[in-house]
Structure 1
Amino acid sequence: MGGKEERRTVGSAFEATGLRVPLDRIQPLRVVGAKTRRSSKYAQIAASIAEVGVIEPPVVARHPTERGRFLLLDGHLRVEVLRDGGETDVLCLIATDDEAFTYNKRISRLAAVQEHRMILQAIDRKVPEERLARALNIDIGTLRQKKRALHGVCPEAIEILKDKPVSLGVFALLKRMVPLRQIEAAETMAGMNRYSKGYVRAILAATPEAQLVPDAKPKAVKGLSAEQVALMERETAQLDREIKAAEQSYGPDHLRLVLARGYVAKLVANARVARWLQQHQPEMLTEFRKIAETDIAAA
């Protein structure tokens, strides 16, 4: 190298500036059905846009063959709310990579941890609580509960659960455990792909008193004796060991699954391929989309 340090550049994932794009030039990659339109998440997004506008711009990629058209990678609900409201265009981020599954998996789902951080950021920016509650379509009491949701939960457990479908009640139960036990509980939840409050309550019931925070002993579980609770503790510890052993053995299979899912996702993200499948093999296209939308990390 002649003593000279090699300089490497990292390409940007987005174009330097946003672009206001007409809605009729944006091609969705999935259909927002009637059930989704009736969901609380759709109502929440509609209320947020009505109150404070579009905070997070949709992500689009330039169409590979049709000049002036764009593929919608992230923000399907936001775009549909704007269409329903009679808007004609929206400010978008222009991605330099059209791998739709990447954005759909990493951006579009607002988990409890992400929502908590968004609320704190809005409060730091001096957004009034009343306005923020209206934007989220919730009352002030619920907003304040969400704001305090992660107080007492260790950062490592939060990191494990940051993109998981965890309710606020789960965090309330985790707070009753010491940090190390919180991490073990979060790893067990992720390993078993179970995030319900009832499941975490069972983990709490099987937690030895030494791993509970002071004055946070779980209430006696109805129908269980002390011996049965002790048995649950031993079985939970065994389950933890089995999960860790499984994690060491499934790596190669998981890698192959990720690669296969990525290939299928690229196929259905290609407008020409998706159009051909829709015309000739609609059932196969439906199954391919299910595969592309599979959460490999939770599978």
Structure 2
Amino acid sequence: MTTKLASPVALAFETETLRIQIVDILPLRELAHSVRNSVKYGQIAASIGEVGIIEPPVVARDRDDPSKYHLLDGHLRVDILRLRGDLEVVCLVATEDEAFTYNRRVSRIATIQEHKMILNAIKKGVPEERLARALNVNISNIRAKRNLLVGICPEAAELLRDKHVPMNAFTELRKLMPIRQIAAAQMMVAMNRYSISYAKSIVAGTPDDELVAGRHKVLKGLTDEQVALMERESAALDREFRLIEQSYGADHLDLVLALGYIQRLLGNARIVRHLARHHADLLGEFQKLVDIPKAA
């Protein structure tokens, strides 16, 4: 018995990078003036000026003119180099000519992950001033990110490690005792809300005995009775959240099984015809349920 060999996997890029003249690189789009004035553009320009190109642009060979290349990814980087007066750049050469932005498949770095990257850079001897120049931010911003988790308990940090949480939200969490920090982080994850205002509302509804010593809630325009009411409502919300959390797994499993069963029913032409003839309204509701995952 002979074994059929699997066909080799096609490489997405040529095996070696290529140094290309910038004048031979053809952008797929023109950059608007507003893009050149954006914070992102300034940060990339500052990073290139400080440490050079870290991630090479991606190009594809022109099929009609081998001396020309189409720019698939890295429009901002190449534009910055062109305006700086650079004549060439090292590129990755894609084997497929498709207008695909590879960086769109990369998630924006989370706040805590950025904090850890800055700490690692500092440990390796990179001065804070150089980091600030590379990221095009004030040095106080680098120091704030360096100290991001000071006063945050490890359990809460772990819950938020891959979330995009504003830095000032961590300032609010530092006002809470560790156990309350964990509860607050759990609520933020469950509600998928990480805004500063939401963090402040959690602090506002926290009893004084769950606040860090010396920390006080500043609640302008609220009476003591209103604050007490917020604390009671927050405690009630915490209890309801725990109850929902306990039953969520089982409820979700039931929903998945029920949805799978409905999908099987609608996959049967005879059943669909029967429902359409005798229970059209029910068929419509079943179809809406099946379409929910597609819309999501």
Distance 1:28 1:158 in 2: 42
Partner of 2:58 in structure 1? 60
For residue 104 of structure 2, what is the aligned residue in structure 1? 104
Aligned to 1:225: 227
Structure 1 vs Structure 2 CA RMSD: 4.3
31-40 or 12-21, larger mean C-alpha shift: 12-21
1:121 aligned onto 2:120: yes
**Cα distance, 1:238 vs. partner?**
3.0
- CA deviations over 1:8-40 (Å, ceiling 9, x no partner): xx9998766544344456566776543332222
2:19 aligns with 20
1:113-162, CA deviations, whole angstroms, 9 ceiling, x for partnerless residues?
A: 34323322322232222222222223333322221112343556545545
User: Is the contact made by 2:204 and 2:230 (CA closer than 8 Å) also made in structure 1?
Assistant: no
Contact kept, 8 Å, 1:204 with 1:218, in 2: the verdict is: no
Match of 1:91, SS state, is strand
Amino acid of the residue matched to residue 240 of structure 2? Q
Who is 2:78 aligned against? 79
Q: Aligned partners of 2:246, 2:36: CA distance in 1, in Å?
A: 40
Q: Which stretch has the larger CA shift, 201-210 or 238-247?
A: 238-247
Larger Rg: 2
2:165 counterpart SS class: coil
If asked which structure has higher relative contact order (CA below 8 Å, sep 6+), I would say 1
Structure 2 CA distance for partners of 1:96 and 1:161, relative to 1, 3 Å: farther
SS in 2 for 1:116: helix
Conserved? CA contact 2:205–2:227, under 8 Å: no
Shift of 1:169: 1.0
Percent of matched pairs sharing the same residue: 41
Alignment partners' CA distance in 1, 2:31 and 2:214: 44
Flag the 1:172–1:95 CA change in 2: closer, same or farther, 3 A.
Answer: farther
Determine if contact 2:176/2:210 at 8 Å carries over to the other structure: yes
Instruction: Determine if contact 2:176/2:203 at 8 Å carries over to the other structure.
Output: yes
1:188–1:243 Cα contact (<8 Å) kept: no
Change (3 A) 1:72 1:117: farther
In structure 2, what is the Cα distance between the partners aligned to 1:240 and 1:34?
51
Amino acid across the alignment from 1:235:
L
- Residue aligned with 2:137, SS: coil
Partner of 1:215: 213
Check whether the contact 2:115–2:148 (CA below 8 A) recurs between aligned residues: yes
> What's the TM-score, normalizing by structure 1?
0.60
Task: Report SS of the residue matched to 2:104.
Answer: helix
Give the secondary-structure state (helix, strand or coil) at the position aligned to 2:117.
Answer: helix
CA spacing shift, 1:230–1:126, aligned 2, 3 Å: same
Cα shift readout 1:210-255 (whole Å, capped 9, x = no counterpart):
655x426551533133123221332255356557867864996xxx
For 1:100 and 1:244, how far apart are their aligned partners in 2?
43
Q: 1:81 and 1:234 mapped to 2: Cα distance?
A: 54
Q: Aligned-pair distance for 1:164?
A: 4.2
User: Within 5 A, what are the aligned runs for 1:1-299?
Assistant: 17-23=16-22, 32-54=31-53, 56-58=54-56, 60=58, 62=60, 69=69, 72-73=72-73, 75-93=74-92, 100=100, 103-106=103-106, 109-154=108-153, 157-158=156-157, 161-162=160-161, 164-178=163-177, 181-208=180-207, 212=211, 214-215=212-213, 217-219=215-217, 221-222=219-220, 223=222, 224-239=226-241, 249=252
Q: Is the 8 A contact 1:59 1:95 kept in 2?
A: no
Q: Which amino acid aligns with 2:78?
A: V
Work out whether residues 28 and 70 of structure 2, in 8 Å CA contact, stay in contact via their aligned partners in 1: no
What SS does structure 1 have at the residue aligned with 2:55?
coil
Residue segments in structure 2 that go unaligned for 5+ positions in a row: 1-8, 257-295
Would the alpha carbon gap of residues 183 and 133 (structure 1) be closer, same or farther in structure 2, given more than 3 Å must change?
A: same
Q: 1:229 to 1:119 in 2, by over 3 A?
A: same
Cα distance in 1 for residues equivalent to 2:215 and 2:101: 43
Q: TM-score, normalised by structure 2?
A: 0.60
